[in-house]
Structure 1
Amino acid sequence: MTTRKFGSFDCAPIGLGCMNLSHAYGTPPSEKDAENLLLSALDMGYNLLDTAALYGFGHNEQLLGKVLKSRRHDYILASKCGMFKNAEGVREINGRPEVVKKTCEDSLRRLQTDVIDLYYLHRWDKNVPIEDSVGALSDLVKEGKIREIGLSEVSSDTVRKAHAVHPIAAVQTEYSLWTRNAEISVLETCRELGATFVAFSPLARGFLTGALTEVNSLVEKDIRRNMPRFHAENYAHNLTLLEQVALIAKQEGCTLAQLALAWTLGRGEHIVSIPGTTNLTHLSENFSAAEVELSATSYQQLDEILNQNTVMGARYNAATQAEIDTEEFA
């Protein structure tokens, strides 16, 4: 399989987002099943695993550290700071240099490793100049505790300011057929600066798999319940669009998920995609999407069916949207 650049590393075009092994979507798998999925991923050829201090409030990093300690050199480890559970047990966005450094120490301990390959600022703390937070990350590179620096959910302007302090190896933002904000400028900025663009939620949090047809079936704590696109009236409309996408998948001879992932990878050679799953069949299905090459006609049809003008509902509620720094379509 052809590899793609991930900072100074080479990785498979499809990586594994590990968040839902600990929280967010439905009921997390048992520790035994999560362990089996992680080991199976490495055996299949996945070599980029993405976690964060926030995921499961530390549980996700602990899981990777426990299960994969003996295979640490078999994969590229990416984690994140700047958003975590504070001493009061509440999710907090904090990018102060001393907090960034402490979070890294905590992550290293949970991950049972001496170095994290790429460490993202999970969210830009708007109370702290981005230059200060990236300066702290740069110190961690010099100390050998992290190898490269990434940013998550930031605008092009913020990427450029950060890059002036220390080279930014990767920028992670939600990107899929139904979330196209990165196309405003971040995708091109990454290309210009030589940074990898990492597409998270490339399957639209399950929407683009076709498996989620009834949003009322989501468990109470599922994060999608607070996302306007998954509100019943919006979702019903969005499902009608997906019916048209399914026809294109049939024409291309692939699954809906593979179609969506192939579309994402086809938007640029500097793009890596990190879908998450708790299902071994889907794990294999997703990974093989890198071998799917879509026709020019399919790209055109997909862009016409699903875009910022046809999808109903914002991707985040107002409170969450206020926390992020990405450009939004007018």
Structure 2
Amino acid sequence: MPAPTRRTFLALGAFAGLLPLAACTGGGGDRPPRPREQDPDTALRLRQLAATDALLADYDAVAAAAGPADAARLTDLREDLVQHREALARTLPPSAAPSASASASAPAPARGVAELAAAERRTVGLRLADLAAASPELARTLAAVAASGAAHTAALGDTGAFDAAAPAPSGSAPAPSGSGSGSAPAPSGSASAPSPASADTAALQAALAAEHAAVYGYGVVGAFLPVGPQREDGRAAYAAHQARRDGWQRLLAGRGASPAAAAAGYRLPFPVKDAAGAAQLAAHLEIQLTASYADLAATAAFRAEGAAALRECALRAAHWGADLPALPGITEAAGSTGPTGSAAP
């Protein structure tokens, strides 16, 4: 789009100058200013900010009583919370957003790491509880923040499964041990459900295409993992991605859409030659999937499914050793790419 010229600004200024004259000729006199429309997400954002500030205070209290090693680990997790807060407050006017320092300075009881993990789990539940009522933009943010919080919960030692947002399909496989995600939930919906909007269908097609690539990538991962727990984790993740791929295909077909087909071949983002490279590829695949599922969490038709899948991918990425961003799917590593649909080398 070309930059506006000086002549354009002059023309716009002249047009704006006509508006008060036209209003005066109407004989209506002075009109009261139109009230500013409030962001419909304001109440949700404020509630989520309050929950974030309470969690920040908990981190500060636990870190103050922890040893140097634990304090450093908690500081890293706390930095993610600061980014969560910034994302949640992004559209609020300064006068509406509460002060982070004021909230965080409130006294909080010093608690242990296990209780901090429980607080993270409760906060994830609060994120997901507001998901349905949020705008698409806020829903994407809440899904990413919840995924990060789930990873924090696991990092703090609570690896229990989170409640699935949708029922698990028959034959679904559990996630890798240590991921804390339980079995992969299946897409909801049936052939009798109303057709989703075209944007929702496009997001689901993109998620399906990403799962095709992930299934191919995990086939490579499994070939280089040694016999033992690591290979079992790879097999479980491979089966879980197959189950989710198949579920998306059934859902799209049942709603009258033609499911996206897998590419003839995929080019890997980097060569895999050993178990370390295989684990790196597995982490990379999961991080790439979070972007597709953040988009799916922003839809109206598949919001819960997208958030659940995003959370599982984030947990698997952390399990494989990824340096998980504070907002998985939104702040993924710049310039990174997954397996591309082209002729395999």
What TM-score, normalized to structure 1?
0.25
The structure with the larger Rg is 2
What TM-score, normalized to structure 2?
0.24
Task: Give the structure with the larger helix fraction.
Answer: 2
Task: Give the structure with the larger strand fraction.
Answer: 1
